[in-house]
Amino acid sequence: MIRPFGLRDLATIKQLEPLGLAFDLRRTLLDATVPSQAALWGYLTRSHLGALTCIHEDKQDRSQLKGFAQVWPGGDRCTWELAYLAPSLDYHQRVPEIWQRLLSHLLILGAQQGKRHIYARLAEDAEAETILRQAGFNVISREEVFVLSQEVSPAPQPKGLRPVTGDDLGPLQEFYGQVMPPVVQATQGFPAHWLASTQRHLWRAGAVNEFIWSEKGKVVAYLGLSGSARGAWLEVFVRPEYRGDVLPHIRYVLALSGCSATRPVYCPIPDHTVGLGWLLRTLGFSSYVRQVVLVAHNYGRVPVRQKMVVAGLERTVDVGRSVGHAYHVGMYQRVTGSVRPGHILYAHHKEGYVSGNYG
Q: Please write the tens of the pLDDT for every residue from 263-273.
A: 999 999 999 88
How confident is the model over 35-39, as a mean pLDDT?
Answer: 94
Q: In this structure, are 165 and 118 located in the same domain?
A: no
Q: In this structure, are 8 and 115 located in the same domain?
A: yes
Confidence of residue 3 (pLDDT cuts 50, 70, 90): very high
CATH number (domain holding residue 81) = 3.40.630
Q: By C-alpha distance, which of 75, 74, 38 is closest to 199?
A: 75
Q: In the predicted model, is pLDDT for residue 172 greater than 80?
A: yes
Q: Please write the tens of the pLDDT for every residue from 292-344.
A: 999 998 765 555 566 656 666 555 555 555 444 444 344 333 333 333 333 33
Total domain count, the chain:
3
Please report the pLDDT score of residue 208 as a whole number: 83
Q: Please write the tens of the pLDDT for every residue from 141-159.
A: 999 999 999 999 999 999 9
Please report the pLDDT score of residue 287 as a whole number: 96
Q: In this structure, are 99 and 121 located in the same domain?
A: yes
How confident is the model over 40-65, as a mean pLDDT?
Answer: 85
Please report the pLDDT score of residue 328 as a whole number: 39
How confident is the model over 176-187, as a mean pLDDT?
Answer: 86
Looking at the chain, the whole-number percentage of residues with pLDDT higher than 90 is 59
Q: In this structure, are 173 and 205 located in the same domain?
A: yes
How confident is the model over 157-171, as a mean pLDDT?
Answer: 91
Please report the pLDDT score of residue 237 as a whole number: 94
Domain edge (last residue) among 241, 270, 290: 290
Pairing relationship of beta strands 218-228 and 208-215 according to DSSP bridges: antiparallel
Q: Please write the tens of the pLDDT for every residue from 269-287.
A: 999 887 899 999 999 999 9
Alpha-carbon span 285 to 146, nearest angstrom: 6
Confidence of residue 291 (pLDDT cuts 50, 70, 90): very high
Domain edge (last residue) among 265, 290, 315: 290
Alpha-carbon span 306 to 308, nearest angstrom: 6
Q: Is residue 226 part of a domain?
A: yes
Please report the pLDDT score of residue 207 as a whole number: 63
Q: In this structure, are 131 and 159 located in the same domain?
A: no
Q: State the average pLDDT for the chain.
A: 82
Q: In this structure, are 281 and 329 located in the same domain?
A: no
Domain edge (last residue) among 270, 290, 310: 290
Alpha-carbon span 26 to 191, nearest angstrom: 15
Please report the pLDDT score of residue 185 as a whole number: 82
Q: Is residue 342 part of a domain?
A: yes
Q: Is residue 261 part of a domain?
A: yes
Looking at the chain, the whole-number percentage of residues with pLDDT higher than 70 is 78
Q: Please write the tens of the pLDDT for every residue from 190-245.
A: 777 777 766 654 334 456 899 999 998 899 999 999 989 999 999 999 999 999 99
Domain that holds residue 240: 149-290
Q: Is residue 144 part of a domain?
A: no
Q: Is residue 304 part of a domain?
A: yes
Q: Report in angstroms the alpha-carbon separations of 165 from 124, 190, 204.
A: 36, 16, 18
What pTM was computed for the model?
A: 0.79
CB 39 within 8 A of CB 51: yes
Q: What does R_g of the chain's alpha carbons equal in angstroms?
A: 23
Q: In the predicted model, is pLDDT for residue 252 greater than 50?
A: yes
Q: Is residue 162 part of a domain?
A: yes
CATH number (domain holding residue 181) = 3.40.630.30
Q: Is residue 108 part of a domain?
A: yes
Confidence of residue 356 (pLDDT cuts 50, 70, 90): very low
CA 187, distance to chain mean position in Å, is 10
Q: Is residue 329 part of a domain?
A: yes
Please report the pLDDT score of residue 355 as a whole number: 35
Q: In the predicted model, is pLDDT for residue 188 greater than 70?
A: yes
